[in-house]
Amino acid sequence: MQKFVITGGAPLNGEVRIAGAKNAVLKMMAAAVLTDEPVTLRNVPRISDVVILRELMSDIGFEVRRSNGDALEIRALEAPWPFVPLEAAVKMRASFILLGPMLARFGRVILPNPGGDRIGRRPVDFHVEAMQRMGATIAYRNGYYFAATPRDGLRGAHVTFPRVTVMGTENVILAATLARGTTVIDNAALEPEVDDLIALLGDMGGRVARTGERRIEVEGVDRLGGAEHRVLGDRLEAETFAIAAAITRGDVTLRGVDPRHLGAFLEVAERMGVPLEADAEAGLIHVRCRDSAPLRPVDVRTDPYPGFATDFQAPLSVLLTQADGVSTIHETIFEDRLDHARELVKMGADIELLGTQRARITGPTPLHGAEVGIADLRAGATLILAGLAATGTSVVSGIEHVDRGYEQIEAKLVALGARINRIEA
């Protein structure tokens, strides 16, 4: 097992290049299943979730290989073994994104129930019900979904999600590209990663368009072809580095991300008094906190995009421990995503939990080094941020979860002046 040892207090300065978005690239890899022609993705982050999905897709029988540094080439000729083992699904819930493309292209797949993880219950009922509406038969036995289409494939359908679901929207889009007729998705997700997937599908010959507020229409086509696509920048990685700059009173320029995708975060940062400038044309954000005034407290509620991202309330809470007064966080997407609070309290934070979805944070409280750890990607990044701000040394465990979604996080932080080492423990 590996851990990070962080000696806090060093202001971060310099430039950092933001990697391609995890929550886009995984769905784009799944999109490559829809054609027998090669799909090349560029700006692919070097994160372990990509490695896991790559191995999983190779096991099914597809060719997936890294080329030219940041590119990934995928060729899905046949699926002799349309089966996703439980070990893979346990490591990565996003493996369930193969349901739609496997059904659309090969007419069958066996996938495990990815189950819940430590941010609360995470059912897949919306995905399953949507595929059933499109004509698939799906039986659930011994933890596995056995899914198959009728002989003439999936048919277009009208799907209205009971609540906004990112991967549910994407799964239906992927399935519908090769279905007979038109599919209409209502209450669809608006995340920029969904739009980037729609752009890739368009390049592959798919007919997918946003046609109304939270409505997407997909006209099925007979076949899709190969394409090359550059993955958009990771807004969550960008927000993490913006907080790292602000919490250490540094001066950092983030490159390779579209600030328009960080609207809700930038608005909260402005309300707190974090000095930053965004340039959409240049794809950069400059966080300038060297001599900034004390931070103001804020009340934040998470919501589907364009609201404040659930993934980002934990990292933001570190900054809120340094604001002057009482801030609140209301997590509305997941039932149980405030576990990081317990670890931050060990480092000196004053956080009161009101149930499992609300937290009250009183600041400013100096943070001090401690031994902390948590089995979740965004909460792990949160503890790293706290370690950067704390006096003394912190030891953060559970970093394999951070490697799932952050590319070489410690190398990027060290280049900005942080004191962070990865050790074998």
Binding site for ligand EPU (CB under 6 A): 23, 26, 94, 122-127, 163, 165-168, 310-311, 333-334, 377-378, 405
Whole-number minimum distance, CB 113 to ligand EPU, in Å? 11
Whole-number minimum distance, CB 118 to ligand EPU, in Å? 11
Alpha carbons 127 and 162: distance in angstroms, whole number: 11
| Beta-strand runs (E) in 93-226 | 108-112, 137-141, 144-148, 158-160, 182-186, 207-212, 215-219
Q: Check if the beta carbon of residue 57 is closer than 8 Å to that of residue 84.
A: no
How far apart, in Å, are the Cα atoms of 206 and each of 24, 187, 202, 306? 17, 21, 5, 25
Q: Check if the beta carbon of residue 371 is closer than 8 Å to that of residue 5.
A: no
If the CB atoms of residues 248 and 382 are measured against ligand EPU, the closer one turns out to be: 382
Question: Which residues have C-beta within 8 Å of that of residue 227, sequence separation ≥ 6?
Answer: 39, 40, 200, 203, 204
If the CB atoms of residues 101 and 405 are measured against ligand EPU, the closer one turns out to be: 405
Alpha carbons 77 and 80: distance in angstroms, whole number: 10
Alpha carbons 202 and 178: distance in angstroms, whole number: 13
Whole-number minimum distance, CB 325 to ligand EPU, in Å? 28
CB atoms within 10 A of CB 362: 17
If the CB atoms of residues 144 and 391 are measured against ligand EPU, the closer one turns out to be: 144
Q: First CA to last CA across the chain, in angstroms?
A: 6
If the CB atoms of residues 151 and 163 are measured against ligand EPU, the closer one turns out to be: 163
Going by C-alpha positions, the residue among 103, 42, 97 that lies closest to residue 74 is 42
Alpha carbons 26 and 97: distance in angstroms, whole number: 8
Whole-number minimum distance, CB 166 to ligand EPU, in Å? 4
CB atoms within 10 A of CB 295: 24
Alpha carbons 37 and 246: distance in angstroms, whole number: 45
If the CB atoms of residues 29 and 245 are measured against ligand EPU, the closer one turns out to be: 29
Whole-number minimum distance, CB 216 to ligand EPU, in Å? 15
Whole-number minimum distance, CB 335 to ligand EPU, in Å? 7
Whole-number minimum distance, CB 171 to ligand EPU, in Å? 9
If the CB atoms of residues 256 and 273 are measured against ligand EPU, the closer one turns out to be: 256
Q: Check if the beta carbon of residue 71 is closer than 8 Å to that of residue 48.
A: no
How far apart, in Å, are the Cα atoms of 9 and each of 120, 204, 419? 33, 49, 9
Whole-number minimum distance, CB 312 to ligand EPU, in Å? 9
Whole-number minimum distance, CB 280 to ligand EPU, in Å? 22
Q: Which two tokens stand for residue 400?
A: 């394999």
If the CB atoms of residues 79 and 197 are measured against ligand EPU, the closer one turns out to be: 197
If the CB atoms of residues 82 and 168 are measured against ligand EPU, the closer one turns out to be: 168
Whole-number minimum distance, CB 245 to ligand EPU, in Å? 21
If the CB atoms of residues 251 and 331 are measured against ligand EPU, the closer one turns out to be: 331
3-state secondary structure 196-240: HHHHHHHHCCCEEEEEECCEEEEECCCCCCCEEEECCECHHHHHH
If the CB atoms of residues 46 and 288 are measured against ligand EPU, the closer one turns out to be: 46
